[in-house]
Structure formats: C-alpha cells, structure tokens
Structure 1
Amino acid sequence: MSAVATVDISRWYAGGADADAVAAAVDESLQRAGFILLTGHGVDPELSRAVRAASREFFALPQSVKQRYSVPVGGHGWIGPGAEANAYAEGTETPPDLKESFSLGADTATGEAEVDRIWFAPNTWPAEVPGLQALAEDYTAAMRRLADDLLALFAHALGLATNPFAALADRPTWTMNINHYPPVSVVGEPEPGQFRIGPHTDFGTVTILDREPGAGGLQVYSEAQGWADAPWEPGALTVNIGDLLEYWSGRRWPSGRHRVLPPQSHAPEEDLVSLIYFYEANHDAVITPLEPPMGRVPGLAPVTSSDFIKERLDAITVS
C-alpha cells in the first residue's frame, strides 16, 4: 500500500461530511510522506498535453538557439543542463542533475527594483515556439486557482477556523518549471550518484506536478517505506508540500522528499517532460508556525517567505 493517498478534491468542493473526510485523509497522507495524488481537480488534460507538446518543440531546438534564452537558476527562461544539483539542498554533493528546464514565474511587479529583479522578473518567451506563451499562461492560471483551493483544504485539514493563506498568498511568488529529462543518447551514461533530479524537498507551500510515467521516474520517501515509486494514474496530479508549509504547520507535515531516477538500463531512450508548478506565498509574508497541539514543535520563530525561499534556491545552484 502506497504511503501516498489518492484524494478526490471534488469531494472537498461538495462540502459537508465529504469535505471533512477528504481533509482527514489529506492530513494522514501529508503526515506520512508530504504527498497526495489528486483526482477530481477539473484541469483539462488537453491543456496539459498542449503545453507539453509546445515545450517539446522548444527543447528540440539547437542548443545555440536555446542559449539565447539562458538564465541562472531562479530566473525566467532556459536553464540548461548542469546548472542544478538539487541534492545540495540536503547537503549531499552529487553530479549535476540530468535535465534541462524552461522556467517562468510571477511577473506582477511591485515597483521595488530589487524585489522585482529577484521575484517578479518579466517572463521570456521563445520566438521559435509562438504558441507556448498563451498555453503556459492558461496552464499557470489553472494551477494558481488549484493551489489556492489546496491551501484552503490544507487549512481545514489543520483544524483552522479560517484560512490564513487567503491573505498571506494573495499576491504570491510562484514558479513553473517545464522539465525535460533526455535519454542516455543525449546526456550520456549517468555518473555514480547522478539523478535526473537528486533527492530533495521543494521550498514553498505546495507543488503541483503533471508528469509522464517512466522507468526513470519519480520516487517518494517515507519513514515507513523508504524510497518507493510514486503512484500515478491518467489525469491525476501529484501534489506535495514544501519546506515553507512544513514550517508553517509546526512540522506536523514533513516536506515531501523525492527524487527522479536517472535513465534506467532497460529503458535508456526514455524521454520525459514534466510540468511543475511551485507555489509559495507573498514575498513579504511573515509565516508564524502553528503551536502544539496541532503543530509538533513549539517555539518556532516567524520567518519571511522570500528570505526562506532564497536561501534554498542559492543552495542548489551549481557554481
């Protein structure tokens, strides 16, 4: 039995006893592994397929063309191979992750130059794939709505009378990474200890993942089962909480630890694309952790969202 529960969020939308049952199942699954598999979310699967197809057009471009859109980790544009090693966030030195990404994010400028440079930079769109912008904007709008619904559900699961996330994430920072995991014929044989994405946790409140199943796919860590393949079913979305929400919950819910395996010897030409929406909070939100009995650790100090996230982004950047 998977440590990750399958949750039908349409039952949450229905309200009443169904909503209470869903909230209880969410609390149990997040305590086990920081993950749920989400069904009933209403996001059009055709939109996901269209975004994935357009992004494959971009990734198929020559490297010299993609280089025009190159940005550092945390930027909006193309993040090429060798730029990240996610396991560094856990203090584990590994070879760079076997992936490339196209990244976009919140571009709702505040008027404060330094804040906007880091958190609300304009998005860069490849002229060679003109359809990508509209598709990605439609997709991220759907993800924003779903992320807000998930935070409301999580507040209920935490037993809160009101939803604090409504005010603390009303002009949030967020990032969407479209990750491409190329085959061995492109990236070469993996080095010892090398992953498509090394073991890590995400940094924000909630991550929503639309993924393709594969031999070199997603694994989730739980205390009870260790590393295990993440459950998958057509149309479902994989949801995990990040470090900020773990802290917010008073460490009741562990940030979902996960990794993406390297290309496997029995499927060396596997080629996967994942759509990953990372949701955070307002850049200046002050997060005050829950105290016991709902929280697990008393006396945790408040933190500012942007400081908390930036420290972790810097840790995974390969210098």
Structure 2
Amino acid sequence: MSTFVPIIDLTPWFHGDADGRAAVAREVDVALRASGFLVITGHGVPTALRADIRAAAKRFFALPADVKARYAATVGGRGWLPPGVEANGYAEGTETPPDLKESFAVGADAPTGDAAIDAVWFLANVFPEEAPELRALLVEYLGVMRALGDELLRVCAAALDLPSGFFTAKTAHPSYTLNLNWYPPISVTGTPEPGQFRIGPHTDFGTVTILDREPGTGGLQVWGEQDGWVDAPFVPDSFTINIGDLLARWTGERWKSNRHRVLPPDATAPDEELMSLIFFYETDPSAVIESLPAPLGTVAHPPVVAADYLGEKLAAITVS
C-alpha cells in the first residue's frame, strides 16, 4: 500500500460503527496533510455506470472534428473542448505547450435566479445527438457524484472534529463540473513537444476532485517534496480523490492542494488511449470562504468569494 497516496476503504464509514467512522476520518486527515491525495474503495458507485459512460464517450470522441465542433466550448463552459484550448501548467505561471487531450464537459445547470451567477456557473448542458445515450448516463452520474462529494465533505468535517455539516452548509446550490477527458494515443497526437503533457503540472481549484481513471504508461503522477514525481497507485473500481486550492485555503493550509500531472503519450505504448472521468466539486458560488483558525489552520488567508476565486483560476489556464 502506498503511504504517500494511501488506499482507504470507506466501507466502515458507510456501514460501520462510530469507531469505524472515526478511524476512516483519521486516515483521511493524515492523507490530506501529507499529500492531499488518497484512493478510495467501498464507495458504492456502480462500475457499470462508469463503463457505459466511457463506451458512449469514446463514440463521441471518434467523430470527425467538424462534427464535434458543433458542440465546441471554452474552458469552464459546457460541451467539447478541442485540443489546444487548455494548458494547466499556466496555473503555475509556466508557459507550457497546450495539453494533449480533448474533453467533453457537463455540470451543474439548475439556475439560482441570479442572472450574473447563472450565466457563468449554471450554464445549460449540451449533449451530442451522435451519442444520444450520453445524456441519461451523465445526468445520473452528476447526481451520484454530487452525493459522493457531499459525503466526502462530511468525512472531512469528521476528520477535523467539526460539525457534520460544517462544509456542506456551503453546498446548498453548488457549482460543479464533470470533464470526460480523452487522452489520444501518440499515433494521433504526434510526438509531444518539450514540456508538453496530457495535463501539465497544476493544482486543482475547488474543494474536492473525484477522479475515475484508467491505468497507463502516460498516467497520473503526484508531486512529493522528497521524492519528486510519484506514480499514483491504481486500484480497480476505486476513485482517486484530491482536494483543491479552495479547500486547502478553507482549512488554513492544514491540508495540501498538491501538484499533479498526467504524463504525455509514450512511444513505448503507441496505441495507448486513456479516458478519465473527473468531477470537480465546488461550493455555492456566493459562498464566502474563511480560513479555519489555529490550532487547526496554520495560515490565515483573507476571506474570498468562491466564484471570484475560481473564476480567476479558470482564466489562468485558458489558452488565448
């Protein structure tokens, strides 16, 4: 078992007694302080749902570019993000080449009634006519992921001995995004440029990221202060979890929003194509996030409005 990115079974949290739940919470606290990452099993999300999404999404990504372009969107929007529009390394101030991926994004679409908020954070989802089964699958998955996201925030509250609803009090009407990331094989992308990745080094921006990934040569790595880039462990039927900048800030930097990257396609695996399902959970856009004071927190950040903070982060990774 990896100690840097530990594997944590959530079965005692969902089905155990108070001692079992407390033990899970302690493990989560240790993981988020050490690396900001963990792998969870026992989460209860059906494997078949994720497999069906992948199969339908692959049919979409295999379409000609001019067909996919009917659903083209910009970073933070809803629809197809073509190659070349995103460079996550920009978030660190590094002028990297664009990321070697395509994405299809859906997310929270129930309007709040605030036109300014809704126009940015609750856009209408679009679904490709050429893969009609995606609509029902993605709507179901969004509901399942939101429920899991809230449950993970309750685990986080328990890990800090806070009231169960401490974090979810600010997710009454949250924004969130699901990216279906397709990482084409090197036979499609061509040889990567120097410093080019499937996803460049970055930290995530929101509260909790729930990643369903496939193993591969060009896979996920997490940054370690002592060991440098470390391959994230892969466990079948698991989710890789990490926290984003907003939750790290919320905890006064007790927990780490850690750098990670997805390696470029490798010539030793010329046919490797991977697909990740990445759910980015945030908060209510109007939520004011204040750092937890000592002794839990160690850094007293100024309060921020979630929408303002996240908007600046998304703008930073958009290739103009």
- Say if 2:171 and 2:283, in contact at 8 Å, map to a contact too: yes
- Say if 1:98 and 1:197, in contact at 8 Å, map to a contact too: yes
User: Aligned to 2:283, what secondary structure does the other structure show?
Assistant: strand
Does 2:293 match 1:291? yes
Q: Which residue of 2 aligns with 1:312?
A: 313
Structure 2 distance, partners of 1:32, 1:264, is 30
Structure 2 distance, partners of 1:16, 1:226, is 37
Q: Which residue of 2 aligns with 1:204?
A: 206
Q: Pick the aligned partner of 1:122 from 124, 148, 153.
A: 124
1:217-228 superposed matches below 5 A:
217-228=219-230
Structure 1 distance, partners of 2:108, 2:44, is 23
- Say if 1:33 and 1:257, in contact at 8 Å, map to a contact too: no
Does 2:278 match 1:276? yes
Residue identity matched to 1:233: V
Does 2:258 match 1:232? no
- Say if 2:186 and 2:267, in contact at 8 Å, map to a contact too: no
Aligned CA-pair RMSD: 1.0
Q: Cα deviation per residue 1:95-152 (whole Å; 9 max; x = unaligned)?
A: 0000000001100112222211110010011011110010011111111111000000
Structure 2 distance, partners of 1:287, 1:54, is 38
Q: Which residue of 2 aligns with 1:108?
A: 110
1:1-319 superposed matches below 5 A:
1-13=2-14, 14-297=16-299, 299-319=300-320
Aligned identity (percent) is 55
Q: Cα deviation per residue 1:274-314 (whole Å; 9 max; x = unaligned)?
A: 000000000101111101111111x3211111011000000
Moved beyond 6 Å, runs of 4+: none
- Say if 1:246 and 1:255, in contact at 8 Å, map to a contact too: yes
User: Aligned to 2:309, what secondary structure does the other structure show?
Assistant: helix
Structure 2 distance, partners of 1:221, 1:51, is 29
TM-score (norm 1): 0.98
User: Aligned to 1:281, what secondary structure does the other structure show?
Assistant: coil
* Residue segments in structure 2 that go unaligned for 5+ positions in a row: none
Structure 1 distance, partners of 2:80, 2:163, is 42
Query: CA distance change for structure 1 residues 168 and 15 in 2, over 3 Å: closer, same or farther?
Result: farther
Residue identity matched to 2:304: V
* Residue segments in structure 1 that go unaligned for 5+ positions in a row: none
The alpha-carbon deviation at position 162 of structure 1 amounts to 4.0
Structure 1 distance, partners of 2:195, 2:270, is 17
